[in-house]
Copies of this chain bind each other. A is one copy, B any other.
Amino acid sequence: MDKRRIGEELAAIVGREWVISDPDELTVYECDGMTYQGKALPDVVVLPDSTEQVAEVVRFCDREQLPFLPRGAGTGLSGGAIAIQGGVIVGLNRMNGILEIDLANQRAVVEPGLVNLTLTQAVVDRGYYFAPDPASQAVSSIGGNVAENSGGPHCLKYGTTAMHILGLELVLASGEIVQVGGKTLDCPGYDLTGLFVGSEGTLGIATKVTVRLLRQADAVKTLLASFRTIDAASEVVSEIIATGIIPSALEMMDRHIIKALEAWLHIGYHEGAGAVLLIELDGPAAEIEAQAKGIERICAQHDVLDLRIAKDEQERTLLWRGRKGAVAAVGRITHEFYLQDGVIPRTKLPQVLREVEAIAERNSFVIANVFHAGDGNLHPLICFDSRREGELQKAIAAGAEIMRLCLSVGGSITGEHGIGMEKIDFVPLMYSPDDLEAMRRVRVAFDPSSRCNPGKLLPTTKSCSEANVAYRPHRVEREGLAQRY
């Protein structure tokens, strides 16, 4: 079927104004937050406004054997929302309603296109919030968060998106509409909700999402601690956790980040600081008072250079300002960067960061590190300049080396950005062929003809080549991008 016919058939389902097939307009959809050069245009973008329309679109794709994929805000960082094999992008932005709020039972039912932060804004006055807080939360959609099992700084204490999703309404690749999970915790039968969260749009399209809402903490305390070395800061991280304190955030920035931030925002970090920890506690006031005392003690034992505790909301914002501006600050010191995402056991932080530094030196790069230290989720920013011959390839190779490093210490190739296209070639380094075969059984069970976001999450059995799009990182857009990380 030609593109024009596809557009017409889809227009009959959703209305002409909600079908995009003009090549110029389609360029908006050629990539997501992973701005590779190897972009791909969908044949058509369709913007349904109900579950029934989504199901009809999917059934049409089934009849015509067209690939399709869901897309929310397009802020994903691993290329999960790129139509790598063309076909139909199902944009869920119009399905952005809050269908039900049940505060007494701490539940809400929302549509997938709802922006993450909008949900919190709807309940914050009554003392509740939606916990997953990817840095993109002001723009990214809850459906996208579900697809990628998004994390965020506060997931150390509250867990990633998976912990906050109770049930889903799904349109499967066959066009069937099914309900998985429900409003109660731990529904009987197979945990298909858990299976779909993080499945990167490869098992179907979520059309309704039942989420858990949390009660806001009584009080928050934010501390900023500077140390001479990464080792000292890492030991503090381990000791805090070992004492049983789970901060709501425990973030680390290395000397490159500190330097870039100082040059830009003049935060006033201690001059000798080789690592800064941003530590946030939440809970009953009495509890966090006691915990803060414990953390001060631990910091002192590790020769803290400087320890600041926010006295009010204004100072708290100030302490977070550096962390939130960290990625943008790096944008000021490099032509481009390649942002990695890997996970390691917390206890391996000093060793791994030393080896990342060695990789940087061998390549004459700067690799800056700002990351969720509490759960060992690294975000190295490999700084390079693609105008210099071969440097792009070296940056990619350095990224791969960091991936292998994470794996060698028992870690993982992604903490919160997903596999998408970006990491698909690394998957076989983490899982054996038999382990992958177990995942493939699930994929085939739900998508026997491989048309549901093809080329994502799982390498194909034949080869990984379909995912091998030439890498070309984005030109850094300074400030604008910072919120994503």
Contacts of A445 in B (CB 8 A): 441-442, 444-445
Are A345 and B184 closer than 8 Å at their CB atoms? yes
Q: When chains A and B are docked, how far (Å) is the Cα of A324 from the Cα of B243?
A: 31
Are A375 and B183 closer than 8 Å at their CB atoms? no
Q: How many copies does the complex hold?
A: 2
Are A431 and B215 closer than 8 Å at their CB atoms? no
Are B434 and A188 closer than 8 Å at their CB atoms? no
Contact residues, A130-185 vs B (CB, 8 A): 149, 151, 160, 162-163, 170, 172, 176-180, 182-185
Are A187 and B412 closer than 8 Å at their CB atoms? yes
Q: Among B347, B427, B430, B441, which residue has its beta carbon within 8 angstroms of that of A446? A: B441
Q: Among B163, B192, B437, which residue has its beta carbon within 8 angstroms of that of A176? A: B437
A383 touches B (CB below 8 Å): no
A71 touches B (CB below 8 Å): no
A461 touches B (CB below 8 Å): no
Q: When chains A and B are docked, how far (Å) is the Cα of A194 from the Cα of B290?
A: 35
Contacts of A343 in B (CB 8 A): 184-186
Are B410 and A184 closer than 8 Å at their CB atoms? yes
Q: When chains A and B are docked, how far (Å) is the Cα of A177 from the Cα of B438?
A: 10
Are A435 and B346 closer than 8 Å at their CB atoms? no
Q: When chains A and B are docked, how far (Å) is the Cα of A418 from the Cα of B187?
A: 10
Please name the residue on chain B nearest to A214 by beta carbon: B244
Contact residues, A183-238 vs B (CB, 8 A): 183-192, 194-195, 197-199, 203, 215-218, 238
How distant is A110 from chain B, measured CB to nearest CB, in Å?
17
Q: When chains A and B are docked, how far (Å) is the Cα of A445 from the Cα of B344?
A: 32
Interface string of A371-411 (1 = CB under 8 A from B): 00001100000000000000000000000000000000011
Q: When chains A and B are docked, how far (Å) is the Cα of A105 from the Cα of B348?
A: 10
A432 touches B (CB below 8 Å): yes
Q: When chains A and B are docked, how far (Å) is the Cα of A290 from the Cα of B194?
A: 35
A356 touches B (CB below 8 Å): no
Are A160 and B186 closer than 8 Å at their CB atoms? yes
A415 touches B (CB below 8 Å): yes
The segment from A25-33, A44-52, A280-288, A297-305 found at the interface with B is: A280-288
Contact residues, A418-463 vs B (CB, 8 A): 418-419, 423, 427, 430-432, 434-435, 437-439, 441-446, 457-458
A369 touches B (CB below 8 Å): no
Are B290 and A151 closer than 8 Å at their CB atoms? no
Are A186 and B162 closer than 8 Å at their CB atoms? yes
Q: When chains A and B are docked, how far (Å) is the Cα of A190 from the Cα of B160?
A: 15
Q: When chains A and B are docked, how far (Å) is the Cα of A438 from the Cα of B413?
A: 29
A242 touches B (CB below 8 Å): yes
Are B189 and A216 closer than 8 Å at their CB atoms? no
A189-B458, A215-B242 given; 12 more Cβ-contact pairs under 8 Å: A105-B347, A149-B191, A160-B186, A172-B438, A176-B437, A178-B438, A179-B432, A182-B430, A184-B412, A192-B442, A194-B194, A286-B287
A-B contact pairs, 28 of them (CB 8 A): A106-B241, A149-B191, A162-B191, A162-B194, A177-B434, A178-B437, A180-B438, A183-B345, A184-B343, A185-B343, A186-B415, A186-B416, A188-B413, A188-B414, A188-B423, A189-B419, A190-B195, A190-B198, A190-B203, A190-B442, A191-B191, A191-B195, A191-B198, A192-B195, A192-B439, A195-B442, A215-B242, A287-B290
